[in-house]
Structure 1
Amino acid sequence: MESLWKERKAYPLLGFLSIAVFFYLNFCDDLAFPILWQPKMMGFVGTNSTQFVINDDNREQSVFYVNGWNSYWLMEVSVWSTSRSKVSEMFRRGSLMGMTVCRTWAFSDGDRHDALQIAPGVFNEMVFQGLDFVIAEAKKHQIRLILCLVNNLDAFGGKDQYVKWAQEAGVDVSSSTDSFFSHPTIKRYYKNYIRAILTRKNSLTGLRYSEEPAVFAWELINEPRCTSSSSAPFLQTWITEMAAFIKSLDQNHLVTVGLEGFYGSQTTERSGVNPGEWAASLGTDFIQNSAIEYIDFASVHAYPESWITDADLEEKARFLSRWVDYHINDAERVLKKPVLFTEVGSSLHTNNQGTNDRDFLLKITYDKVYESAKKKQAGAGVLIWQLMVEGVESYNDEFSLVAWEHPSTYKLILEHSCRLRIMFEKGETNKEVNHADPCFGS
């Protein structure tokens, strides 16, 4: 009788579970209950000298080269269930272009209604659930995330907001935003933020962020700069301290700085590689900052149009070519770490011959990283800035695009994804694809 009772009780339970799975698979963009169906397992990304590798269930390593993109707006758009479908669509389309990594903001600081951290250590749970959704949805599409933890710029609060919080609390702190890198109170605010992020248990997956393989890496700060070059030692110490702090909480994930890649006053022999003399006065140094023990890979940005505004296309191409070459070589020979070009941006401009300047400049970076990959060297990937979908135009800038509205750029992105995949077809990049393969049409 007891066996029969259990059997009868099991039928409604199985029916409920079946219905729940059906609703998740078909309507998950609008529902917010824990995921009952787990996507295919993903391994954590690590490094082996100058290459990214992924450890599978059998503890075998596969080499991993990145073709990816930026969409900084994902968390904010995910706050409201009515707009989450746009995030899902961005991941779907990125996956259809063969891309495997997306970089996005995991911060929004201030007293706005849509801020994640509204005061030091005080969080908006609704916004946190938006970030939960971004991570869960990326995992569903087999996309890994580089999550940036604070902005150097004022947009979305940034380091300026941390300084203001300290001042409002009566702390004797300079109004210079360089205080972000040096003042103990502000550093404590930031460490508390890191702790909250890394220990957050995702309301959809049930995993802590520190346990989530869909996270590719933590990025300390977007484009760090100092207002005075004399603050360079404070920035160097800050990077060391914060990267070590992350590693003390999370041994699963990689850490990078978020540098633009400028060479500083400590590496005068590289000064000619910079886009101008101004770049060496910002307190950053690609080699010195990236060489820190707890930094797992180097990061570089590339904006030839913004950095050398008066140059023609040929001069911008020469600069970009040299910029990429030097950073790959320094990562390979000096740092002995992988390097990711985490923002490569160019506006759409068609010249008299009908050539798209953006495609021309992007192809330079793609080709050089591909050549590095063929030699199994440190050029480990490129992330275009930035991709959009219809309906998120408010996050647009001069370098943003809806790729499928620009066939030549779309084709270029897809072709680069495919040649990397084909080169390492036995690697994780192939094993994780869970849709019709865009490279082989199967």
Structure 2
Amino acid sequence: MLSRRHLLVAGAAALAAGQARAAPPSTFVTVRDGRLSLDGKPYRFVGANLWYAAWLGSPGAGGDTARLGRELDRLKTLGVTNLRILGAGEKSPAKVAIDPTFRGPGEDYNQDLLEGLDVALAEMAKRGMKAVIYVNNFWDWSGGMPAYLRWTGNGAWFQQGDPAHPWPQFADYSARFYGDAKAQALFQHYLRALVGRVSSVTGKPYRDDPTIMAWQLANEPRPGGSEAFGAPNLPTYYRWIAETSALIKQLDPHHLVTTGSEGAKGCLEREACVVEAHKPASIDYLTLHVWPNNWGWIDPRNQPATYGAGEAKCRDYITRHVAIARTMGKPLVIEEFGLVRDDRAFAPGSAATDRDRFYGMMFGLVEADMKAGGPLAGTNFWAWNGEGRAQHADAWFKMGDKAYAGDPPQEEQGLYGVFDADASTLAVVRAHAKAVAAF
């Protein structure tokens, strides 16, 4: 494992080298005057989460390149131009974990999934789309940080939702990852292989591919769940962000790097933590997730009665993070948000009155900030189910299922994801895309 001093020195050298060499081509997304920029103009987008893109692109069992093409065409027709996709996955015994994955504890990475990522990026390029690739996960539905800890023997492994380990024990356990030297060595080896990869489809190194907008350190990295563990762990968490982002910049000076953070909700409710986490020069923009059902702001079983007060909290949460981004002089992307359907239904085409209202509110705030020249660059709704459908009567994903949906294995298929049959929600997205394109 590289020492902290080595990484910081290397990162500084990489940044200096990046300044000395030619600027990224105009087809790369950059940061200019505190906003995302593309070809000298503000880069504003409507996006979606499509974590399973590499799985569809894989030539191995379960791959479905024809479906990948259909989903990308549907999204392009909607006006979606930016996709947040998963570029990692670790073998895990968790009941809700995906399989296959990009890696196990060794260095024999899954070439089918790596080629699947190559295919996904190449197909996105044909449609003028940009990708944000996250390279780890705080949650165990893709293996993630707990899988690394299991491999290194850092405490007794357990899965999220284990009743013997009530919340916030899982979050405290997963957050051990940042300070585990062996886990970091394993992670950095994969990171070097991924960021340094040459596409098997285009023959182009990833670092030279403008289809990639940004590398993201992880999905929802948190310093911990409890104050007792998380507060003392903050320096280690900040150091991990600084070192990992510097390493990526060393490997790839052309692409943006960001955290994948939820904002204050994933930072022990501390806005100061949000600032510190996004302070390094190697972190180009801030991220924000908005989950009113999960956070107890809107009761999913009594949504109409609790929606109004919950929406007000969401508006305030977004407003406060826009202010942080403006103060820091960095762009902001709302890269996850969602709300359950009416009566917590899962079926495609089910009524989504409050969800549509919620999407409309989110999009309206973004449009207003864009019009005012603010730091908000775009959104990625969670998530695109497309033609994916639950394979079981209870709507739960089972390990080995191949009909992927945007709802990850830890949730019922259809809980938050948007199906191709969800006409009312698709109309809201389409109208927003038209508004953004007009700026």
TM-score (norm 2): 0.76
User: How much has 1:408 moved relative to structure 2?
Assistant: 2.1
| Residues 202-281 of structure 1 aligned to structure 2 (within 5 Å) | 202-225=199-222, 226-227=224-225, 228-229=229-230, 230-262=232-264, 279-280=268-269
State the number of aligned residues.
355
User: How much has 1:214 moved relative to structure 2?
Assistant: 0.4
Change beyond 3 A, Cα 1:348–1:113: closer
Change beyond 3 A, Cα 1:318–1:164: same
Q: Of residues 293, 296, 314 in structure 2, which corresponds to 1:305?
A: 293
Instruction: Classify the secondary structure of the residue corresponding to 2:104.
Output: strand
Are the aligned partners of 1:52 and 1:63 in contact in 2 as well (CA < 8 Å)?
yes
Aligned equivalent of 1:412: 428
After superposing on structure 2, the runs of 4+ consecutive aligned residues of structure 1 that deviate more than 4 Å are none
Residues 54-102 of structure 1, C-alpha deviation per residue, up to 9 Å, x if partnerless? 13xxxxx011112100011111222247611111111111111111100
User: How much has 1:330 moved relative to structure 2?
Assistant: 1.3
Aligned equivalent of 1:45: 29
Aligned equivalent of 2:342: 349
Residues 165-217 of structure 1, C-alpha deviation per residue, up to 9 Å, x if partnerless? 222xxxxx445433310122211211111110011111111111111110111
Aligned equivalent of 1:102: 83
Structure 2: how far apart are the matches of 1:350 and 1:153?
26
Aligned equivalent of 2:47: 68
User: How much has 1:285 moved relative to structure 2?
Assistant: 2.5
Aligned equivalent of 2:12: none
Instruction: Classify the secondary structure of the residue corresponding to 2:48.
Output: strand
Residues 312-364 of structure 1, C-alpha deviation per residue, up to 9 Å, x if partnerless? 010111111111111112111x221010000011111279xx87101111111
Are the aligned partners of 2:216 and 2:259 in contact in 1 as well (CA < 8 Å)?
yes
More displaced stretch, 119-128 vs 77-86: 77-86
Aligned equivalent of 1:285: 273
| Residues 140-155 of structure 1 aligned to structure 2 (within 5 Å) | 140-155=126-141
Name the Cα RMSD after superposition: 2.3
Structure 1: how far apart are the matches of 2:293 and 2:175?
27
Aligned equivalent of 1:296: 284
| One-letter code aligned to 1:45 | V
Instruction: Classify the secondary structure of the residue corresponding to 1:343.
Output: strand
| Residues 365-404 of structure 1 aligned to structure 2 (within 5 Å) | 365-393=362-390, 394-395=404-405, 396-402=413-419, 404=420
Instruction: Classify the secondary structure of the residue corresponding to 2:373.
Output: coil
| One-letter code aligned to 1:216 | M
Instruction: Classify the secondary structure of the residue corresponding to 1:162.
Output: helix
Instruction: Classify the secondary structure of the residue corresponding to 2:269.
Output: helix
Are the aligned partners of 1:263 and 1:287 in contact in 2 as well (CA < 8 Å)?
no
Q: Of residues 316, 322, 326 in structure 2, which corresponds to 1:322?
A: 316
Aligned equivalent of 2:159: none
Residues 113-134 of structure 1, C-alpha deviation per residue, up to 9 Å, x if partnerless? 6211122432011121111111
Structure 1: how far apart are the matches of 2:431 and 2:152?
49
| One-letter code aligned to 1:376 | G
User: How much has 1:377 moved relative to structure 2?
Assistant: 1.0
1:186 aligns with 2:183: yes
Are the aligned partners of 1:180 and 1:187 in contact in 2 as well (CA < 8 Å)?
yes
Structure 1: how far apart are the matches of 2:87 and 2:113?
10
| Residues 76-115 of structure 1 aligned to structure 2 (within 5 Å) | 76-80=55-59, 83-110=64-91, 114-115=100-101
User: How much has 1:223 moved relative to structure 2?
Assistant: 0.7
Instruction: Classify the secondary structure of the residue corresponding to 2:141.
Output: coil
Instruction: Classify the secondary structure of the residue corresponding to 2:416.
Output: coil
Aligned equivalent of 1:337: 330
User: How much has 1:264 moved relative to structure 2?
Assistant: 7.9
Change beyond 3 A, Cα 1:183–1:314: same
Aligned equivalent of 2:160: none
Instruction: Classify the secondary structure of the residue corresponding to 1:139.
Output: helix
Aligned equivalent of 1:427: none
Structure 1: how far apart are the matches of 2:337 and 2:90?
25
Instruction: Classify the secondary structure of the residue corresponding to 1:359.
Output: helix
Structure 2: how far apart are the matches of 1:145 and 1:46?
13
Question: Identity of aligned pairs, percent?
Answer: 23
Instruction: Classify the secondary structure of the residue corresponding to 1:321.
Output: helix
Structure 1: how far apart are the matches of 2:212 and 2:240?
23
Structure 2: how far apart are the matches of 1:107 and 1:191?
12
Structure 2: how far apart are the matches of 1:148 and 1:337?
19
More displaced stretch, 150-159 vs 223-232: 223-232
Are the aligned partners of 1:105 and 1:148 in contact in 2 as well (CA < 8 Å)?
yes
Instruction: Classify the secondary structure of the residue corresponding to 2:287.
Output: strand
Are the aligned partners of 2:286 and 2:325 in contact in 1 as well (CA < 8 Å)?
yes
Are the aligned partners of 1:232 and 1:284 in contact in 2 as well (CA < 8 Å)?
no
TM-score (norm 1): 0.76
Are the aligned partners of 1:110 and 1:118 in contact in 2 as well (CA < 8 Å)?
yes
User: How much has 1:160 moved relative to structure 2?
Assistant: 0.9
User: How much has 1:263 moved relative to structure 2?
Assistant: 5.7
Residues 293-313 of structure 1, C-alpha deviation per residue, up to 9 Å, x if partnerless? 211000000111221154701
Instruction: Classify the secondary structure of the residue corresponding to 1:107.
Output: coil
Larger radius of gyration: 1
Change beyond 3 A, Cα 1:375–1:119: same
